[in-house]
Chain A
């Protein structure tokens, strides 16, 4: 992935710097003009100009000032032509005030701007896909083309999605300022959810044909890191960052060289990233001492228990079971119940796990979902009822809409059937 630095010193770090600066520049311009939507366009243009010019001419001495200057110039042009248009329409010539005093251009940075942007982009008025796209562009500093590529849709489609998201924000009249502490508490879960979705989209898709896609998992980690730096006292942001690190640490082990999915208990644990695990574990320890335990801290704790086992058989399942029981209380969902049943099976035997799954049959959020069949297949296999296991693996394979998952499930069924057909000695 790393390209050699050019003669002008352009490398991955310079690109990182550019992305780092994007939300800061957007903050300055949006606050100055009170118009998030147009400011976002202006900053995007400045970013594109930098992507074009910096590798050739070298990174300017004051990159932030450069970006702000270019974005403000674009913004001023837009405002001027808008004023001119209105004047033509009304045939009046009001005293046109200069919009910007040049001397002020490079000052007036506010570290909270990134946070303001994050809350704005993850606004409840937006649909999840819109919030994700807008966050990646406005806060993450990614180009529309990069985001489109990551989600495998045409660039024009992604551009429309972003533009509609901005229109929704405009229509909802959210002011460009930090929500008060009360609102912040209410809206933080939505922000964390968006960051979590960006991560899981990146993490679970980073296999096979999708390897060439932009690394969304890394982007999500970067965004969550900056959110954590701005709200260091929030234990759930720390928990989310820990969860991402503890999960991402396994990415090299989760697919075989032939792109097949490798389940957790079959992974080569020497491929896990020890440094990432250590960082995640430390963060989690810190978060857990900070007070109220939330859903991300609990999921991170479960990931940490898996990560600390040198071999799959060393996994502390009773502890995982206890954590899932807590999770069911803090944030109940059919998926949590499903994972809880796996933990029950690991501690008390597969029959008990299957018993738990019965409770889910009537849950319409999960009835007919392939995961229920996949887990059943897994537990029947552990129980030694291979015929039933094959049946459930196949049922799951026909229901999933994930290609790697379908290949995995069909292979499981085929493997078990081979075992069944072997002549008994």
Chain B
């Protein structure tokens, strides 16, 4: 079963770029270690970090279908900072990986306890007959 793990980060407050160097390095090493473990366990399908929200553009189809872009990201409290897609044996395993992500070290090495949204990817095969 494939699951997506979505890491949402608070938009307000002290963001990662303002952290002291040691904290930053610990955080980066944690994420690298996590990805390495998932690769080695044969569970990683993909992992991507997303740019900061000020790089985001909101797009809508304008008249004649041409893209109508809006440069400013609306004031939402949280934004998607990155995601993992994993292929695991059980949902419990997906939750366990999510819990590990959630506890990534923040300032002072304290676990961030981020909220991770876990959802099945629509990849299950349909049944044989109805």
A residues contacting B by CB (< 8 A) are: 127-130, 151-154, 156-164, 200-201, 203-205, 207, 247, 261, 263-264, 371, 374-375, 378, 400-406, 408
Contacts and interface: CB of A to CB of B under 8 A. Distances in A.
A402 B121 contact: no
B118 to A, nearest CB: 13
Contacts of A205: 125
A164 B128 contact: no
Interface in B99-130: 120-130
B47 to A, nearest CB: 11
A333 to B, nearest CB: 14
Contacts of B40: 160, 164
A220 to B, nearest CB: 14
A157 B43 contact: yes
B42 A161 contact: yes
Contacts of B121: 401
B51 interface: no
B39 interface: yes
B129 A264 contact: yes
B122 A127 contact: no
A227 to B, nearest CB: 22
A247 B42 contact: no
A204 B126 contact: yes
B10 interface: no
Interface string B17-49: 000000000000000000000011111111000
B39 A160 contact: yes
Given A157-B43, A164-B41, A164-B42, A402 B122 contact: yes
Given A402-B122, A406-B122, A157 B129 contact: no
- Specify the main secondary structure of chain A where it touches its partner: helix
Q: Which interface residue of B40, B44, B129 has the most chain A CB atoms within 10 A?
A: B129
A153 B126 CA distance: 19
Given A129-B89, A158-B42, A201-B125, 4 more contacts: A160-B40, A200-B128, A401-B124, A402-B124
Nearest to B3: A401
Contacts of B123: 152, 401-403
Contact of B127 (A156, A162, A204, A403): A204
B130 A157 contact: no
Contacts of B130: 261, 263-264, 374-375, 378, 408
Contacts of A156: 39
Nearest to B125: A204
A162 B124 CA distance: 22
A405 B45 contact: no
B89 A371 contact: no
A154 B122 contact: no
Contacts of A263: 129-130
B120 A401 contact: yes
Contacts of B127: 204, 371, 402, 405
B87 A151 contact: yes
- The 8 lowest CB-CB distance pairs between A and B, nearest first, are A161-B42, A204-B125, A160-B42, A405-B126, A401-B124, A402-B124, A403-B122, A401-B120
A261 B129 CA distance: 10
Given A160-B41, A401-B120, A154 B46 contact: yes
A154 B42 CA distance: 9
B45 A157 contact: yes
A402 B125 contact: yes
